[in-house]
Amino acid sequence: MADPLVLDSLWILIASSLVLLMQIGFCALEAGVVRAKNTINVAAKNITDLCVSGLAFWAVGASVMFADGRYADGTQGSGALQSWALSFLVFQIMFCGTATTILSGAVAERMRYGAYALLVACVTLVVYPVTGSWAWQGIDGGQPGWLEARGFVDFAGSTVVHSVGGWAALAALVVVGPRMGRFGPGDDSPIQSSNIPMSAIGVGLMWVGWIGFNGGSTLALNDQLGGIILNTILAGCAGGCAAQAVSLLRYRSVSVFALLNGILAGLVGITAGCHIVDGPSAVLIGAIAGALMTPSLLLLERLKIDDAVGAIPVHLIAGIWGTLAVALLARPGSLEISMVDQLGVQALGIAAIGAYAFPVCLVIFYVLNMVVPLRASSEAEVDGFNVTEHRASNAMSNLIMDMERQRQTGDLGEPVRVENGSEVETVAIQYNRVVTKIRHDAKKLEKAYDEILKAKAAAESASLAKTSFLANMSHELRTPLNAIIGFSELMQNEAFGPLSGDGRYKEYNETIYEAGNHLLSLVNDLLEHSRIESGQAEIRDGEIDLQRLIRSIARMTQDAANRAEVDLSVDLDEGLPILIGDERLVKQIVLNLVSNAIKFTNPEGQVRILARLEADNRIALVVSDTGIGMSREGIAEAMEPFKQLQDHHAKQYAGTGLGLPLVKAMMRLHDGTLTIDSIEGHGTTATARFPDRRTQAQRVERPPQPAAEAGGDA
C-alpha cells in the first residue's frame, strides 16, 4: 500500500499544476482586456512575474514566510516526507506567483517592462512572505504566526494572496497614474478591449485552476476535497450572476466584462472559508462578492484610479469580504471561538495585513520611481509596448499604427500594410479601397475648389466693377439732374416770361420737374444700394425722436397721398422711447415703406404709419396699407434687388425695385429685422423691428425754473 504522504504529494503537485494554469488564465484575461498594441507586452509580463517571483520566493521568500518550518526549503526529511516538502514548496511558489501577477493586470499599458520586474521582486521579497508568515507560518509544522495563533482563518488566501496583490496593485496605480486618455475632460469611458472572447477563455482557465488553488490548500488527499471544490464552483457561478444583475440595473445592458470579473470576485470571496461553509453559504459569499464588483469599479473611476482589468474590486474588495464571511457564515462548530470574537480576529488580520502591505509598497514604489522611472514615455504609450518594449508586433497593431500614421500626417498616399492570412487582412484591404476612393474624390474636390475660387474672383471683380460703375454713373447723373430740377424750379417761380400766357408751358415745366425728381430718387437709391453692397456704408448712431421724425415724414408724403387719393394716418404710442440709430437711414426706411404703400394702394384706400414699444423692449415701426397686396412668392421676389414688385404692374408702378431691399439692408446695418405680411388683393403690412439695445428711455425735459425758486435766497 502506498504511503499516504506520497498520495498527498501527488495531489499537491496536481493542484500546483492547476494553479499554474491560473497563470495562463491571467495572461489570456489581461491580453484580451488591453488594446492589441500591448498584448505581447502583457503576455511577457505575466510570464516574467512567475519567473521572477518563483526564483525570489525559492531563494528568500519561503525562508521568511516559514522561518522555523520543517519543510519550507524542501531539504529536511527523506523519502516520502521530503517529497511532500518539495511538493509543498512548489505549491507555495505558485501561490506567490498568483499574488504578484495581480499587479500586472492593474497597471497594464503604462509601466515599463524592466520596472515591472523590479516591483514583482520587491513584493516577493519584502511584502508577501512577511504578511504570509503572520497567517500561515505554522501550516508546514512550524510555530504559528501571530495572527494564526489568534485564530485568524484564511484557508487558501483571500487576504494572504489576493488582498496583498490588491494592495500592491493599488499602491502602484497611485504612483504611475492612469493611462493616457483614460480620464480626459468630460470623458470617463473605459478604453476599449481588444479581444473579450480571449478574456473569457482566460477566466475559464482560472476557474479550472481555482480547483487546485482551493482544493490543494488541504495539503492532503482527504475527505474535504469534494465540499471545497463544490463550494468553489458555486461561488463562481453566484458571483457571475450577481455581478451581471447589478451591471444590468446600473447600465441597462449586458456587460460581459462584469460577468467575467463577477465570476473571479466570487472565487476570491470563497477562498478564505471554502473548507468550513456549506453550499448555500458559498452561494451567498460569491453573490455578495460579485455584487460588490460594479460599485467598486465606479468608486475607482470617481477617484480617477485607472485599474485596467478591475483587479482591485476582484482581488482586494472581494478578498476582504470573503475573509469577514468566514466568521459570519461558517458551519456551526467549525470555529474554535465565538462568531463575534472570530469576526474581530478576521477584521484584525485584514487591517494588519493592509496596514503593512499598502504603505510598504507605496514607499518602495515611490523610491523606485525616483531611481528608475516606472512609467513609460507618452510616445511608448501611443505607439504600443509591443513595438517599443519588445520590437514585436502583430497584424492588428501594425494596422493600427499605419492608420494612426495617416491620421497624424494627413498623408493618405501610402496604403496600410496587408498581411496575408492575418485576422485583419480583409479589414486592411477594405480600408485601402476606401482610402483610394477618398484620394480620388479629394482630387475632384480640389479641382472643383480651384474652379470655385476662380469663379469667386471673377464674381468679386464683376461686383467691384458694377459697384464702381454705379457710383460713378450716379455721380455723373446727379449733376445734370440737379441742374434740370433747379432750372425748372426757377422757371416755375418766374412765371415763364413772354410765355406766361400759354398754360401748356407751365404743364410742360411741371412734367420736367417731376421727371427730374423721380430720376434723382432712382439715382439716389442706386447709390445707396451700391454703398451697402460694397460694405462702405457706415451708420452714425444718435438719439432719434421717433414722434418728430414720423410726423415729418407724414407731412412730406401727404401731397403724394392726396394725389393718389389715399387716406394717410399716423398712430404713435404715448411716451415712445428714444431710438438709438442713424437718423438719415431710419428716415429713409420709413419714407421708402410709406412711399411704397402709397404707390401700391388704390384710390380711397388707407395707409397707416404706426410706431410702438413691444413687450420685449424692441421698437417696431409698422407701415400698413389696403393696397394690391402680394402672394408669398411675390414677397420673396420683392425682397430681391432690381426686381419689380409684380411684373404685370411694372408699367403702372415704375421704379428700380430697390425699395424693400434697401430697407432690409438698412435694417441689417442696425442689427434689426424687416418682416412683410401680405394678402394678395387685400393689402400689406411691413414691420421694421430694432433690437432692444437700441431702445433708450425717454428723457424728461423740465422747464427752467425762476432764479428765486431754483436758488432760494442765494
66: pLDDT strictly greater than 70:
yes
Are 84 and 9 contacting, i.e. CB atoms less than 8 angstroms apart? Answer: yes
Return the CATH superfamily for domain 4-384.
Ammonium transporter AmtB like domains (1.10.3430.10)
Rounded to 5 degrees, what are φ and ψ at 542? -160, 180
pLDDT at 262: 96
What mean pLDDT is predicted for residues 645-663? Answer: 55
The partner residues of 610 in beta bridges, in order of sequence, read 571, 622
- Report which of residues 387 and 340 the model is more confident about: 340
pLDDT at 708: 39
pLDDT at 519: 59
Shortest CA distance to 598 belongs to which of 624, 632, 636?
Answer: 624
pLDDT-wise least confident of 120-134, 464-478, 588-602, 677-691: 464-478
What mean pLDDT is predicted for residues 282-290? Answer: 98
DSSP 429-442: HHHHHHHHHHHHHH
119: pLDDT strictly greater than 80:
yes
Which cell is 62 given?
Answer: 519561503
Radius of gyration of the chain (CA): 46
Topology of domain 542-696 in CATH is Heat Shock Protein 90 (3.30.565)
658: pLDDT strictly greater than 70:
no
- Separation of alpha carbons 273 and 323, rounded Å: 7
Q: Which residues of 485-502 are buried (b: 16+ CB within 10 A; e: fewer)?
A: beebeebeeeebeeeeee
- Separation of alpha carbons 695 and 238, rounded Å: 72
Are 73 and 89 contacting, i.e. CB atoms less than 8 angstroms apart? Answer: yes
CB under 8 Å to 314, separation ≥6 — which residues?
166, 261, 264, 265, 268, 293
- Separation of alpha carbons 573 and 180, rounded Å: 65
- Report which of residues 218 and 253 the model is more confident about: 218
Q: pTM for the full model? A: 0.62
Shortest CA distance to 70 belongs to which of 88, 96, 91?
Answer: 88
Which cell is 357 given?
Answer: 502591505
pLDDT-wise least confident of 386-390, 404-408, 614-618: 404-408
Q: What residue type is 553 in one-letter code?
A: I
What mean pLDDT is predicted for residues 629-655? Answer: 63
- Report which of residues 699 and 555 the model is more confident about: 555
pLDDT at 140: 78
What mean pLDDT is predicted for residues 195-217? Answer: 95
pLDDT at 591: 87
Block residue for cell numbers 492588428: 396
306: pLDDT strictly greater than 50:
yes
pLDDT at 473: 57
Which cell is 380 given?
Answer: 511608448
pLDDT-wise least confident of 3-12, 198-207, 362-371, 421-430: 421-430
Which of the given ranges, 43-47, 233-237, 454-458, 477-481, has the highest pLDDT on average?
233-237
Rounded to 5 degrees, what are φ and ψ at 393? -155, 170
- Separation of alpha carbons 491 and 486, rounded Å: 9
pLDDT-wise least confident of 53-57, 93-97, 117-121, 656-660: 656-660
pLDDT at 707: 43
pLDDT at 474: 56
CB under 8 Å to 484, separation ≥6 — which residues?
512, 516
What mean pLDDT is predicted for residues 156-164? Answer: 97
| Parallel/antiparallel/unpaired status of strands 606-613 and 683-689 | unpaired
Which cell is 542 given?
Answer: 444718435
Are 209 and 9 contacting, i.e. CB atoms less than 8 angstroms apart? Answer: no
- Report which of residues 637 and 121 the model is more confident about: 121
Q: pLDDT band at 313, cuts 50/70/90?
A: very high
652: pLDDT strictly greater than 90:
no
DSSP 68-129: T-SSTTS-SS-HHHHHHHHHHHHHHHHHHHHHHHHHHHHTTTTB-HHHHHHHHHHIIIIIHH
pLDDT-wise least confident of 335-344, 538-547, 648-657, 683-692: 648-657
| DSSP 8-state symbol, 288 | H
Averaged pLDDT score across all residues of the chain: 84
- Report which of residues 46 and 633 the model is more confident about: 46
Shortest CA distance to 659 belongs to which of 677, 686, 633?
Answer: 686
Which cell is 112 given?
Answer: 515599463
For the chain, domain boundaries: 4-384, 426-533, 542-696
Shortest CA distance to 273 belongs to which of 313, 318, 323?
Answer: 323
518: pLDDT strictly greater than 80:
no
| DSSP 8-state symbol, 58 | I
State pLDDT tens for residues 418-430: 877 776 788 888 8
- Separation of alpha carbons 164 and 361, rounded Å: 10
State pLDDT tens for residues 456-502: 777 666 666 555 555 555 555 555 656 666 656 666 665 545 555 55
What mean pLDDT is predicted for residues 609-620? Answer: 90
State pLDDT tens for residues 89-101: 999 999 999 999 9
332: pLDDT strictly greater than 70:
yes
* CATH hierarchy code of domain 426-533: 1.10.287.130
